[in-house]
Structure 1
Amino acid sequence: MPATFDFDAASALSKGARAYQEDAVIADFSRGSDVGVAVLADGMGGHAAGDIASKIVVTEVFSELMFQRGDVEAFRKTVTQNLLDAAMAANTCLRQHVDMHPETHGMGATLVATAIINQNLYWISVGDSPLFLFRDGSLSQLNEDHSMAPQIDFMMKSGLLNAEEARNHPDRNTLTSVLFGEEVPRIDCPEEPLELRPGDLLIVASDGLQFLSNTQISEILSAHCDAQSAEIADRLLGRLNDLQDPDLDNVSFSIVKLNTPRSTGANGCAATVEGMIRHVG
């Protein structure tokens, strides 16, 4: 029987420099559970549309995954299809909302949802919300970036653009895939899971976190890798606030630390994310 990890998890939300919040995030890594779930959406469509879109997506995907995880063995066998079905159900809900409220036409949301079953990480993502893994002092993005940024970076590497032109390109943040009630052009949902290790740290985030460079994020994680996830969340938010950037986007993320696998009957140091969500601004 595979070892079961203990989780230390926390989430955070900040409006950044925006007047309203269009991100939504929810997670559950309850003590003793064999399945941990985190779901995040970054809405678009303006006030009273983007925030609704993100809530629809997060609520629909999270509730479906929580329902399905009740039977762990069945969930393990069909988790990839469950993730796809949950995302498509959320997309349908967006379509129905727009049909009932035509003034919200154009609303949509990115999605990144993770399911951890014992040591195996599964995910689905649509859009540019990143899923990061911090392992052995190195930060990497696991999921695809469904925006123009990868193509613009390729143009820079090919010598068609210089670094400043690529960094400030007006189409850099244009999405190439998003949930908006229509056909979804691109979905990242690998069939095979990533096997996690004790000491791994995951960040499920909106792209607002990327106002910090990967180097800056890595520095914070390296300096506080022994801290609780809630403290790490505070450190990341503090560094973002220190930027004093008038264009700082909404920021949301869930941090999940994987501790040493627990033995049957052992008192682990697992923590549920519920009650540990930080709201700033």
Structure 2
Amino acid sequence: MDYSFAQWIGTRERQEDSGDVMQSGDGLVMIVCDGMGGHDAGDVASQTAVNAYLDMLGHASANSIPELMEMALRHANEAVRERFANLKAHGGTTLLSTYFSGGVLWWISVGDSPLYLWRQSRLIRLNADHSMRSEMEQLFSRGQVSYQQLVRQSHYLRSALTGQEIDEIDVTRVPYPLLPGDKLLVSSDGIEAWLENVRLRAPQKLGQLFSLPTSRIAQCIIDEVMDFAEPNQDNTTVIVAEPF
């Protein structure tokens, strides 16, 4: 599998995203964690979760890939709890991980970091969004909240790894078949403002980006996000992979 990885700090004071790509058995694992900005140490939370998740995947045994990924997720959540208990602080992070092997894909996610599939000139979101985005959009459409409230509160999370019980988990129970020509985009939500603008104003840009060699796409997306110059641009992490 060919892949590329790129990050940008955006307009924030520090990089609170963490991500990695790892070979696990006969599969390839990709993971992105986005530390929660309102907490004491989002960067510590995200890196702790990545390390603990990958460590569990490398050493645990399970009857199925979804079971293994859930074990790793809960291990990551416990690692976040222990780390911040020792620091006497609070922290949290999203987590999105994929596992590709034998032509099929599994994923697990908590939070709002998106997983996209590029297939036949379409960009399709595969995983659930555990933010308040859809609820706030419905309230806005009914005139119950202002546009400023929509923008501000859409990023509030309904579920995250904080060391407490995880409210919502999206995990594939049935493997998702991939096709030749498919490309996967694993990212933090820092990509979303740019992506929404491109889809509305220049959808052909996506076709141009995903027609590039996979080794270049992640950095080119980051370059596009930088050029978009969102005033409050969040940290952005992008992993792009071509399974076949």
TM-score (norm 2): 0.90
Pairwise CA distance, 1:211: 2.0
The CA distance in 2 between the partners of 1:211 and 1:45, in whole Å, is 17
Q: Calculate percent identity across the aligned residue pairs.
A: 31
Quick check: 1:175 aligned with 2:157? Answer: yes
Q: 1:64 to 1:212 in 2, by over 3 A?
A: same
Pairwise CA distance, 1:46: 5.8
Q: How many residues align?
A: 241
Are the counterparts in 2 of residues 220 and 236 from structure 1 also a CA contact under 8 Å?
Answer: no
**Larger deviation, residues 111-120 vs 146-155:** 146-155
**Larger deviation, residues 57-66 vs 167-176:** 167-176
In structure 2, give the amino acid aligned to 1:90.
A
Largest Rg, 1 or 2: 1
Task: Select which of 3, 16, 37 maps to 1:22.
Answer: 16
TM-score (norm 1): 0.79
Partner of 1:221: 206
Q: Of the two structures, which has the highest relative contact order with CA contacts closer than 8 Å and spacing of 6 or more?
A: 1
Are the counterparts in 1 of residues 100 and 106 from structure 2 also a CA contact under 8 Å?
Answer: yes
Are the counterparts in 2 of residues 56 and 94 from structure 1 also a CA contact under 8 Å?
Answer: yes
Partner of 1:87: 73
Pairwise CA distance, 1:66: 3.2
Partner of 1:53: 45
Partner secondary structure for residue 3 of structure 2: strand
Q: 1:244 to 1:215 in 2, by over 3 A?
A: closer
Gaps of 5+ in 2: none
Q: 1:151 to 1:62 in 2, by over 3 A?
A: same
The CA distance in 2 between the partners of 1:246 and 1:152, in whole Å, is 21
Partner of 1:152: 136
Gaps of 5+ in 1: 1-6, 69-73, 260-281
In structure 1, give the amino acid aligned to 2:241.
V
The CA distance in 2 between the partners of 1:27 and 1:89, in whole Å, is 18
Pairwise CA distance, 1:166: 7.9
Are the counterparts in 2 of residues 43 and 108 from structure 1 also a CA contact under 8 Å?
Answer: yes
The CA distance in 2 between the partners of 1:191 and 1:119, in whole Å, is 16
In structure 1, give the amino acid aligned to 2:12.
R
Pairwise CA distance, 1:215: 6.3
Task: Select which of 102, 106, 109 maps to 1:118.
Answer: 102
- Stretches of 4+ aligned residues off by more than 6 angstroms: none
Partner of 2:190: 208
Pairwise CA distance, 1:29: 5.4
The CA distance in 2 between the partners of 1:210 and 1:25, in whole Å, is 17
The CA distance in 2 between the partners of 1:148 and 1:47, in whole Å, is 18
Partner secondary structure for residue 202 of structure 1: strand
Partner secondary structure for residue 252 of structure 1: strand
Partner of 1:98: 84
Pairwise CA distance, 1:233: 1.5
* Root-mean-square deviation (Å): 2.4
Partner secondary structure for residue 242 of structure 1: helix
